[in-house]
Structure 1
Amino acid sequence: MDNFMAARSQMALSLGFHIIFSCIGMVMPFFMAVSHFIWLKSGKPVYQNITKAWSKGVAIFFATGAVSGTVLSFELGLLWPNFMKHAGPIFGMPFSLEGTAFFIEAIALGFFLYGWNRFNRWFHWFTGIVVGISGLMSGVLVVAANAWMNTPTGFNYVNGTYLNIDPIKAMFNPAWFSQALHMSIAAFAATGFAVAGIHALMVLRKRNVDFHLRSFKIAAIFGVIAAILQPLSGDISAKMVAKRQPAKLAAMEAHFVTRPATPLLIGGIPDEKNKKVDHAIELPGMLSFLIYDDFTTPVKGLDQIPEKDHPPVAVTHYAFQVMVALGMMMMALGILYLIAIWKKKNWFEKGWFLKLFIAATPIGFIAVEAGWTVTEVGRQPWIIQGVMRTADAVTPMPGIHYSFYLFTAVYFTLSLVVIFLLYRQIKMVPFIYDVKPKTLHQDQSL
């Protein structure tokens, strides 16, 4: 493994782990705030119990997210010094503001965890809201920095020199809104389905049924709403990619040859050597319609882009197909959930319904990983789209593969620790609020 591949692998590994920790850490405070609010309004002690249990999970993921995020910050300088040398002064503002949001989140989380029976109860609830908002803002700011790499603005690039730097314009680059919206909704969908799936498993096993059923409903409604909204944000993102990164869109769709009434491909195996796709289902004109709102306008294919600037087509296409397929699965399950709320409340007692959510536990995060694969692999060979190639940004320092092996071990160890802590937390849920299965129908409301 050469330095370039080791650096890319280490960055991919770090991002892959951190994105899961950060998604859960920035979304679960909102679940916690809802259960806390219901407890304050209803006085039902089970919701206080849910709030306290979830707050411990938030603390776990805040800690692991902070550690993995700090490592990523060091890796940017360690692995890509040429990139940081030139890009740091331009897109450093969102990172600086993200640090501020992180500090606010840490302070608010401390207030929340240690504020039980010490603060005014509504102020205490408000500190939990601040944890969620500041965590969400941290995610949005980091995504804004990544969006700048995809649509670099806020500077002039003249003869290898970066001039007229405008950090505000760089932060609010053309892609920041679409990427931040898409990522935020994805985080809610992934975390909502994951948390709901765990509680559904406990309900199916008849463990603390009242506690887990109410927890399941709160988490699921977040995931369901996000999953139904996600295609709308995906449409906004796709239009932005078509305008600013046509090579990425062409790789996502394995679109080799520009032609009118460009079809949308479902599935398929890209043959990059012969510039074709085997075994795909073609929907004539649909890609043209999705991008340009008509069925005839040709979408730019890879044949109009220099081959040296082509992304890896197969990886990008497969990741995109996985992301879309899993997103559609979550949306379909979300529609079933809404039917259960409005018309079929007895489904919450049915094993098949709970098993669907149990099976869906990991799919949101698989979709998130696939989406980030599309974002990063689809931008190659550029680290700054159209300005700096990834190969030109890598460190010349030898022995990066040893760093990759070390960080791989660290991240897998960290994951095992998180799994152990969460497992212990679930096992420690008190049984005082358990409800016998036969009485579930008596109180199906939140």
Structure 2
Amino acid sequence: MTVAAMRRMDNPARARILRRMNTDLIIVGGGLNGPALALAAAQAGFTVTIIDSLPLDTRKRVNFDGRSYALAHASMRLLRGIGVWPKISDKAQPMLEIKVTDGRAGEGPSPWMMHFDHAEIEEAPMGYMVEDRHLRRAFLDAMAKDKRITHLSGETVVAQSVDAAEATVTLASGKDISGKLLIGSDGRKSGTAERAGIKRTGWGYGQTAVVCAVKHEKPHGGIAHQFFMPGGPLAILPLTQDRSSIVWSETDTRAQALMAMSDTDFLTALRPAFGSFLGQISLTGARFSYPLGLTLANSFIADRVALIGDAAHGVHPIAGQGLNAGLRDVAALADVLENARGRGEDIGGAQVLARYQQWRRFDTTTLALATDTFNRLFSNDNPLLRAARDIGMGLVNAAPGLRRTVIREAAGLTGDLPRLMRG
């Protein structure tokens, strides 16, 4: 628009034009997947504006609060590729083994189990445990150093629209931002998806995850444990400094009672399920809880809109693959956009976005169904199902080829890997 044309406009319209920002990509959501995509896209030469509803000071908090993530080996490759991994590698705990058992709290595990060792694959370790505070700070620092990224914190989107050339969002502050593509990375209740008219399919499990961290007397040896109990699985995941992250899935009623307990009473309730193999335990950091369910966007794309992470798919934490699936979205979308630009295509065009959906839709649906099936199979005390699953775990453990396949799947090394995850 020329200066003369702007002068002919009335004052409110002129002010609105002056408040408009233009960018290649608009990313709504400043958690983890959004910043990962911002860095990957900026590295490929795109300009990015990321909109985060939380204030920057909140994101930058450095106190340990107990929240941690299991990063698959392929996800580590992505973080290394976008320059984040060197900032957190010394704070990450390698996962060298995974032990999966079945049983009841206070009775010890079933003799049937699955044991996966990192030594069975060439790309070992299988993955890493990284604390939320370290990962978020590394993303923020990396984005602040990249001039192609504009990070707007403490801002919320109140409206969005698309036309043949661009997508536009309006912020609560009154600013408009226009870009070639709008990306929703704003969680399971994605406003971006809702405003784009994308419906969701899903259901609750009647379970709630209680998340915390404990310090223990004995070293964990880099071993992750998954203990299936009638109310839901208990994951004990190794952190640095002889600490472990706890993800305890229980019935909603039981979880509510656990969250209402004092720290002393909570530890008393946890010990029969946790066991004594790591000695005495004590809480470190806070406790969190969140309801568990399955939610899938009926489409990962709309006109000039793409969804990543929980905005596209939210699964049960039974396999610890939620963040890894989101980072795979990031790597795939970055690949698709870079290739499209190389061909001279409109990066927000329907054909380009269809390639992204085709790449990710089947994998994420398969993951959702697998976690749903496993949770239903294991979160009960049916004696017939218990016998069947125990025998099944024993058979998997006795088959080296099948065991290796499971390890590679958990490490994120199977399927059509995007460039940033190929190493």
Using the size of structure 1 for normalisation, the TM-score is 0.28
Using the size of structure 2 for normalisation, the TM-score is 0.29
Higher helix share: 1
Higher strand share: 2
